[in-house]
Structure 1
């Protein structure tokens, strides 16, 4: 990859990578740090990364940097032990967007990331698989489980409207 191609990659993909990270971490400063680290990694490997593969490389590197940060901060929870009925939403509320964001925040990091990539960013299962390093089957399972949890959390859509 040449310097011009690197600069073009910054112009083309920095906003979407930033939105993806910010949507998952909810901290602008940390998201900016992750983006900076991601582009630093790309620059260090610019001779090895083809320009046609740069988007996939950027999202993969950003995803792995995000996971590393989360693990360092030890924000992982034991989701297997959670009782989802205690966290379900049954009260009437008119701001569906806020309820949905609150529900997504309850998901484990991996499920949260793959759901965001699929439903928010519009990536295919194959692209998500390449970015995260998971198999397509794992991606589908995580998305299924996340959607199932979201459905249980939000409850009846009539309550929200």
Structure 2
């Protein structure tokens, strides 16, 4: 990969990588650090990375950095983040729906949440996700199916049924 190709990779994928990491970590500064480290590793290894595989390489490194960050710090408090987000979410009914969806996503483990975000939010193929997360395609499909079942069961429970104009009671 040339310097020019590296810069093109940064321009094309920086926002997607950052969005993916910040959605999982729910902490902007930590997400910026993880993404920066991923781009540093890509830069250091650019001679070994084929340009066609820069996206997969970048997401794989970023995902692994995120997992390492979570394991290392053990300081991410979903409850505190959720309470902060909860205050802002109560401002409108549209945001009420977002709150319920975030609660549902928070019920998933790290792997399931990452799979849902990569497939359903970012639109990656099963093959791309398998490379990013170090799983085979069958595992991706099975884990994603289980994650979606968990989400569905949570979202259709009487306390959380999503209805037009807001959330059911």
Distance 1:97 1:8 in 2: 33
Distance 2:146 2:71 in 1: 22
Q: Deviations over 1:96-135 (max 9, x none)?
A: 1210011101210000000100000011111100111101
Residue 137 (structure 1) aligns with? 138
**Which structure carries more relative contact order (alpha carbon 8 Å, separation 6+)?**
1
Secondary structure of the structure 2 residue equivalent to 1:49:
coil
Counting only pairs closer than 5 Å after superposition, residues 84-95 of structure 1 correspond to structure 2 as 94=93, 95=96
Query: Which one is further off, 107-116 or 151-160?
Result: 151-160
Counting only pairs closer than 5 Å after superposition, residues 1-161 of structure 1 correspond to structure 2 as 1-74=1-74, 94=93, 95-155=96-156, 156-158=161-163, 160=167
Q: 1:73 offset after TM fit, Å?
A: 2.5
Task: Answer whether contact 2:21 2:31 (CA < 8 A) is retained.
Answer: yes
Distance 2:5 2:137 in 1: 30
TM-score between both structures, scaled by the size of structure 2: 0.80
Q: 1:153 offset after TM fit, Å?
A: 1.3
Distance 2:122 2:52 in 1: 19
* Uncovered stretches (5+) of structure 2, i.e. residues with no partner: 77-91
**Any runs of at least 4 consecutive aligned residues in structure 1 with deviations exceeding 3 A, and if so which?**
156-159
TM-score between both structures, scaled by the size of structure 1: 0.84
Q: 1:34 offset after TM fit, Å?
A: 0.5
Q: 1:75 offset after TM fit, Å?
A: 6.6
Q: Deviations over 1:4-42 (max 9, x none)?
A: 111111111111110111111110100000011001100
